[in-house]
Structure 1
């Protein structure tokens, strides 16, 4: 099988691991820079080229898109879908997963529990609205973002209203959620494939930090899901 891995970071751990796993399984793997693609529609025919040459016959495409490559990378993935090349993750699900509020709506539509979440277009009625969500502090997360970037913790009505008002004036979209103080800087990341929880990791923020992101100095260790968290059909393995 010939596998194309969309990534600008050939030395990234995830990209290297995928490449090594493909080679160890007897497949051919090629790392492809998303920005190296030209996408053609209309004219004589619809096609895609890479570094000026026709794209080879890949059996499957595996997107590994970063924050800087994902916007154009989604178009590349959609084009591969259009010309009939199988892709591991389709463009629309990638876009949905990137958008925090959109992904929360999808979870709610499927009756999965989520924390009370709010987004607004102005701060005019904010104080009355957040009163329905619980007590201070509130946490603000940008619609798009990773590694804990742009996340704010606001503990007074004045700080929340003034911050949200400024963000609305700048046309920056944020999700507002009640902060789970009981978590004490700890969260659990679970990877689910199909209907199986295949791995879990417990992340703990460093002293003085509320974000449990590894990029913000948090530590991570293997975690076995207890029965009260793990649905009976799931069979989780801790992250190595």
Structure 2
């Protein structure tokens, strides 16, 4: 099987391990820096170019798309999907996973257990918001943060108000 791993660098631990394990399993695997890819849009002929050369369609792609390049990386994954290439993570799943609110809404709709969550655009009624989730301590998150950035623990109503 020919596998392309879409990653920004072969020095990333996860990318190295994926390459090693794919080769150990007898597959031909290579890392493709998604930022060096171009897509060609043409009627019924989707294609991806890498360093100016058209890529042959692999049997599968494994997206390793960082949050900072979600928009561009998702476009490349979507192009591979248009080429009927199997992908371990769909372009739509990538977009959804980067949207905290949409992810929580889908999890709640599917019946997945999760902490009570309130989404608001009006932070002046902090006491009411905290009451809706059972009172302090509460976790307050911004929608745009990743990897723990923008996550705060408020031990009291006063701390929640300050945040």
Same fold (TM over 0.5): yes
Aligned to 1:81: 81
Q: How many angstroms apart in 1 are the aligned matches of 2:162 and 2:109?
A: 31
- Structure 2, gaps ≥5 residues long: none
SS of structure 1 residue aligned to 2:67 = coil
* Aligned equivalent of 1:52: 52
- Matched ranges for 1:33-44 at <5 A: 33-42=33-42
Query: Aligned pair in 2 of structure 1 residues 117, 44: CA closer, same or farther (>3 Å)?
Result: closer
Q: Which has the higher contact order (CA 8 A, sep 6+)?
A: 2
Q: What is the number of residues matched between the two proteins?
A: 163
Q: Deviations over 1:169-208 (max 9, x none)?
A: xxxxxxxxxxxxxxxxxxxxxxxxxxxxxxxxxxxxxxxx
Provide the residue aligned with 1:93 in structure 2. Answer: 93
Q: Which runs of structure 1 show a deviation greater than 4 angstroms over 4 or more consecutive aligned residues?
A: 42-45
Q: Following the alignment from structure 2 to structure 1, what is the Cα–Cα distance between the partners of residues 58 and 45?
A: 19
Quote the Cα distance in structure 1 between the aligned partners of 2:34 and 2:126. Answer: 41
- Find the residue that maps to 1:5 and give its secondary structure: strand
Distance, in Å, in 2 between the alignment partners of 1:22 and 1:45 is 29
Matches within 5 A, 1:45-194: 45-163=45-163
Q: RMSD over aligned Cα, in angstroms?
A: 1.9
Shift in Å, 1:44: 9.1
Structure 1 residue 43: Cα displacement:
6.9
Per the alignment, in what secondary structure is the counterpart of residue 113 of structure 2? coil
Contact (CA 8 Å) 1:100, 1:142: kept in 2 or not? no
Which structure 1 segments of 5+ residues have no match? 164-240
Q: C-alpha distance in 1, partners of 2:44/2:115?
A: 51
TM-score of the pair, normalised by structure 2:
0.89
CA contact (8 A) 1:5 1:29 kept: yes
Stretch moving more, 40-49 or 17-26: 40-49
Aligned-pair distance for 1:38?
A: 1.0
Q: Closer, same or farther in 2 for the Cα pair 1:45/1:58, shift >3 Å?
A: closer
Secondary structure at the aligned position of 1:130 is classed as helix
Larger helix proportion, structure 1 or 2? 2
Q: Give, in whole Å, the separation in 1 of the partners of 2:4 and 2:147.
A: 26
| TM-score, normalization by structure 1 | 0.62
Find the counterpart in structure 1 of residue 26 from structure 2: 26
Please give the alpha-carbon distance, in whole angstroms, between the structure 2 residues aligned to 1:103 and 1:157: 27
